[in-house]
Amino acid sequence: MAKAIHSMIRVLDETRSVRFYQAAFGLEIADRLDFDTFTLIYLSNAETGFELELTVNKDRQEPYAVGDGYGHLAVSVIDLDGEHDRLGALGLNPRKIVEFNRDGTLIARFFFIEDPDGYKIEVLQRGGRFQ
């Protein structure tokens, strides 16, 4: 059986991206591999073994086009309202909280936020299938 271990995104500015993920989600640098033309930065926290890999191509000057094939990364939190308030206070501009219902049953509460490169992150209230 396969085990998901990381997801990779390309970012323009290492410092800006690392600061965002540290402030927004408590992700810290687990490893940093520097090569001649690119750098790989692995971010994680104590909540999970899953990592976010940031790839910085050293010769890149223009922002990446996220494109129409990328969906989003998702994280779950214990206190959605508290996290929404905290991220807003940091100036990270979380979108409004949404309640997703089906046949009158609440399936999920969530909001989206974007990182400095335009990648969308869904922040879900922990519970049900969203652990």
Task: List, edge to edge, every strand of the sheet that includes 48-57.
Answer: 6-10, 48-57, 38-45, 28-34
Q: In CATH, what number is assigned to the domain containing residue 81?
A: 3.10.180.10
pLDDT surpassing 90 at residue 131: no
**Token output for 121:** 């992150």
Q: Is 83 marked active-site?
A: no
pLDDT surpassing 90 at residue 3: no
Tell me, yes or no, whether 119 lies in a domain.
yes
Q: What is the mean pLDDT of residues 55-65?
A: 94
pLDDT higher at 72 or 128: 72
Check residue 4 and give its pLDDT.
83
Tell me, yes or no, whether 1 lies in a domain.
no
Residue 74: domain span: 6-125
Check residue 34 and give its pLDDT.
94
- Domain count for the chain, please give it: 1
Which residues are CB-neighbours of 58 under 8 A, at least 6 positions away?
A: 36, 37, 38, 39
Check residue 2 and give its pLDDT.
60
pTM for the complete prediction? 0.88
Which residues are CB-neighbours of 90 under 8 A, at least 6 positions away?
A: 23, 24
Catalytic residue among 51, 53, 83, 122: 122
Tell me, yes or no, whether 131 lies in a domain.
no
Q: What is the mean pLDDT of residues 103-119?
A: 93
Check residue 37 and give its pLDDT.
96
Q: What is the mean pLDDT of residues 72-98?
A: 96
Q: What is the mean pLDDT of residues 64-92?
A: 93
